[in-house]
Amino acid sequence: MSSSYDNNRFPARNALNDNDSFMHTDKGVGQFWRGLFSDGAYTVTQVRIKNRADCCSERLSKVNVFIGNELCGRLPDIPKGKDGKWYTLECKNPIIGTSIKLVTTRDDYLHFTQIEVYALKHQKLSKPKSASKFIAQSAGEAYGNYASLSINDEQIMTSSDKTGARGMNVVVLEPRTHNILIKRAYDLKEC
């Protein structure tokens, strides 16, 4: 946290408990709470924040939520009497980051009781080491109406039909993790 309120009576870790304890900063614009993802980067799509349950719900108004250094969104204007309510922010686009940060935009305290981050573990895609040669082919009626796929000179798929092959969509997955390694559409012009 950027600061601690009342001799750190409400520490940063309280935001990660499954009860109504809460974290609390001093008053001011730019006060923040930040949490690091314990095992690297994640692709974040949604964040949920639960307001303090016993009072002062309006203090969470217009707080910015960042994933890494990129803004996911801003909490709405929250009226008094919304204590203990959950607020959901959908990131406009998925954001890759290693941390989450809530920052005040008004001269007020920052406090909340729980936070949830919805994300997928970020994986870097790379060419499979075992596949050094990849060939996708398709042809129309004049050439036999076929589509084929080969990896390392081994044909792994062939198709043909009477109406003519119009091309193919190719998706290659890494067998262990099912990460997409290749995703491409081929049409007749690329034969």
> What is the token pair recorded at 46?
């949604």
Q: Residue 43's pLDDT is what?
A: 87
Q: Residue 1's pLDDT is what?
A: 92
Q: Same domain, yes or no, for 156 and 103?
A: no
Q: Same domain, yes or no, for 46 and 109?
A: yes
Which pTM value belongs to this model?
A: 0.64
Assigned domain for 111 exists? yes
The least confident of 4-18, 49-63, 67-81, 85-99 is 4-18
Q: Residue 139's pLDDT is what?
A: 55
CATH number at residue 98: 2.60.120.260
Domain count, the chain: 2
Q: Residue 189's pLDDT is what?
A: 45
Eight-class DSSP state of 108: B
Query: What would the pLDDT profile of 24-62 be if each residue is shown by its tens digit?
Result: 999 999 999 999 998 888 889 999 999 999 999 999 999
Assigned domain for 7 exists? no
- Domain C-terminal end among 100, 121, 142: 121
Report percent pLDDT > 70 for the chain: 63
Higher pLDDT, 70 or 156: 70
Average pLDDT for the chain:
79
In sequence order, which residues have a C-beta less than 8 Å from that of residue 172 and are 6 or more positions away?
128, 131, 134, 151, 180, 181, 182, 183
Q: Same domain, yes or no, for 82 and 117?
A: yes
Q: Same domain, yes or no, for 100 and 142?
A: no
Query: What would the pLDDT profile of 128-169 be if each residue is shown by its tens digit?
Result: 555 556 565 555 555 555 566 666 666 655 555 555 445 555
Higher pLDDT, 24 or 125: 24
Q: Same domain, yes or no, for 90 and 164?
A: no
Rounded Cα–Cα distance for residues 127 and 148 (Å): 20
Higher pLDDT, 126 or 176: 176
> Does residue 188 register a pLDDT over 50?
no
Q: Same domain, yes or no, for 114 and 166?
A: no
Q: Same domain, yes or no, for 44 and 116?
A: yes
pLDDT interval class at 120 (50, 70, 90):
confident
**DSSP-derived pairing of the beta strands 111-121 and 70-74:** unpaired
Q: Same domain, yes or no, for 19 and 113?
A: yes
11, amino acid identity: P
Rounded Cα–Cα distance for residues 160 and 146 (Å): 4
Q: Same domain, yes or no, for 149 and 71?
A: no
> Does residue 115 register a pLDDT over 90?
yes
> Does residue 186 register a pLDDT over 80?
no
Q: Same domain, yes or no, for 52 and 113?
A: yes
Assigned domain for 3 exists? no
Assigned domain for 127 exists? no
Assigned domain for 168 exists? yes
- Domain C-terminal end among 121, 152, 179: 121
Contacts 24+ apart (CB under 8 A), 173-177: 174/128, 177/123
Assigned domain for 2 exists? no
Q: Residue 55's pLDDT is what?
A: 92
Q: Tell me which residue range forms the domain holding 86.
A: 12-121
